[in-house]
Amino acid sequence: MYSTERFVVRRCDAFYRFWYDVSGQLSFLEAQEIYDRLTCHGSRNSTPDDTDYYDIFPADPLPEWPDTGRPLIRRLCRHDRKAIEAHLLGLNEADRRLRFFNAASDDQIRGYVKNIDWHCSVLLGAVFCDAVVGMSEALFDGRGPARHAEIAVSVDRLLRRRGLGYFLVRHVIGRAALRGVGQTSFRFLRENQPIPRIVRRLGGTVDMQDLVGMVPAKTSTGIDIRLATS
């Protein structure tokens, strides 16, 4: 999955205003090694709760987008809860049903964001002018060693059909793989046609009768990742 893409490690401040490259363009595993060394394997200087923290960024995210209006792709943290909430509240009734399997009310969405378990999930966001305009989530199966993750994705309506959802899904799966995940799954409604398209673009197949799609994908970690939809 990450065999040809390049990544960079950056030092950030807690206000997301300044970003300093501390590495050149590297493979994901090389970037991960530097990140682990700088953060003691994520135990310090790894979240905006620290004055300075480090993270891994795609070196050339969304290359098909024009430079103007290209969102920043980064990991989302507790500090982003208000922006996450605003993004999800901005989904209309139909989009909320596709994302949450029901027409979630504003209060239900606020409760969902409030109850995000940051220890059992990885959230990756597309951020533009401090607003979250798209996000993908990998939710792990418990607090022990992760073996499976359920994936969800949402993108602001005006930014769809430009490959952003696919990009966010692909990269959040890569992050999940580094946590030891061996299988990821999507659950989707039949009318949610973008999900099968993402699965197929990742090299998998989808059986729409059973709503099951599988994608074997070698990541840079050497783990086979499968997307199963149900």
Give residue 176's pLDDT.
83
Contacts of 139 (CB under 8 A, 6+ apart): 117, 120, 121, 149, 150, 151, 152
**pLDDT tens, 186-197?**
888 888 888 888
Give the per-residue pLDDT at 112. 95
- For the entire predicted model, the pTM comes to 0.85
Q: Provide the 3-class DSSP secondary structure of residue 103.
A: coil
Question: Is residue 226 predicted with pLDDT exceeding 70?
Answer: no
Q: Can you tell me whether residue 208 is helix, strand or coil?
A: coil
CA distance 228 to 230: 7
Show Cβ contacts of residue 227 under 8 Å, excluding neighbours closer than 6 positions.
151, 173, 184, 185, 186, 199, 202, 204, 213, 214, 215
pLDDT in tens, 30-68: 998 999 999 998 889 988 888 888 998 888 888 778 777
Q: For residue 145, what pLDDT is reported?
A: 67
Which element (helix H / strand E) includes 150? Answer: strand 148-155
User: pLDDT grade, residue 177 (50/70/90)?
Assistant: confident
pLDDT confidence of residue 61: 82
* pLDDT band for position 216 (cuts 50, 70, 90): very low
Q: Which residues contact 214 (CB under 8 A, 6 or more apart)?
A: 204, 205, 226, 227, 228
With a cut of 90, say whether residue 82 has pLDDT above it: yes
pLDDT band of 214, cuts 50, 70, 90: very low
CATH superfamily placement of domain 68-229: Gcn5-related N-acetyltransferase (GNAT) (3.40.630.30)
Portions of the chain given CATH number 3.40.630.30: 68-229
